[in-house]
Chain A
């Protein structure tokens, strides 16, 4: 059974750094693209970027380029989303999602990680 299990909720202060994770299981982690999606409180879905864990090929949405870093450690089947300096506007739920291939969504989603940034 394909599963994506994300790390738990985080509460951080503005300016702090953060790395959240998404662990894949039940499939060959290196062979499928993993994407990240943001959902701000009460708002819609925003595409952030995507990574191929096999070779760490990463593509970012222009809106998120330079704002976050997407990475993966294939040895432990885990993808990451990280910030070097959080802002209050980064408060959101972040979802990871596995694709069937670069162009096709696979229908598998993590449970979401709530990140709260507040002074």
Chain B
């Protein structure tokens, strides 16, 4: 399964809403779709799994949705610490990652 994320870069201001897309080349089994956040020099951080379940300790401004081949990560109101790169991953058998979306300060 190939995952394609869009846009490549999202330029937004703190307080704005961010909508990130992840499209799969074929249907993702059991909605096994995860989202990660990565900041420079840090390991990735799991945000969402099973398309819409928040990982432990993740603020509720992060939400995931979608099924089949189209998935979305929404950050309701961007905080300064949310500017980072975000990756989707299908966490079924092949576990491929998308190429990433950079959320940068406008």
Evaluate contact between B43 and A104: CB separation under 8 angstroms. no
Evaluate contact between B32 and A47: CB separation under 8 angstroms. no
Distance between B103 CB and nearest chain A CB, rounded to angstroms: 15
**Interface size, chain B (Cβ < 8 Å):** 24
Instruction: Indicate the member of A35, A50, A61, A103 with the most B CB atoms within 10 Å.
Output: A103
Evaluate contact between B91 and A45: CB separation under 8 angstroms. no
Given contacts A103-B32, A105-B34, A107-B55, contact A47 B96 (CB under 8 A): yes
Distance between A62 CB and nearest chain B CB, rounded to angstroms: 8
CA distance A98 to B94 in the complex (A): 16
Q: Indicate whether B95 reaches chain A with its CB closer than 8 angstroms.
A: yes
- The size class of the interface chain A forms with chain B is 10 to 19
Distance between B45 CB and nearest chain A CB, rounded to angstroms: 8
Given contacts A61-B95, A103-B32, A109-B43, contact A44 B87 (CB under 8 A): yes
Q: Indicate whether A112 reaches chain B with its CB closer than 8 angstroms.
A: yes
Distance between B7 CB and nearest chain A CB, rounded to angstroms: 15
Residue of B nearest to A109 (CB): B43
Evaluate contact between A45 and B89: CB separation under 8 angstroms. yes
Question: Contacts of B92 on A, CB cut-off 8 Å?
Answer: 103
CA distance A107 to B89 in the complex (A): 13
Q: Indicate whether B44 reaches chain A with its CB closer than 8 angstroms.
A: yes
Q: Indicate whether A46 reaches chain B with its CB closer than 8 angstroms.
A: yes
Evaluate contact between B55 and A47: CB separation under 8 angstroms. no
Q: Indicate whether B62 reaches chain A with its CB closer than 8 angstroms.
A: no
User: For residues 58 through 82 of chain B, which have their beta carbon under 8 Å from a beta carbon of chain A?
Assistant: none
Evaluate contact between B36 and A103: CB separation under 8 angstroms. no
Question: Contacts of B96 on A, CB cut-off 8 Å?
Answer: 47, 61
Chain A 34-55: CB-based contact to B (< 8 A → 1; otherwise 0): 0101000000111100100000
Given contacts A104-B49, A105-B34, A107-B56, contact A45 B43 (CB under 8 A): no
Distance between B85 CB and nearest chain A CB, rounded to angstroms: 8
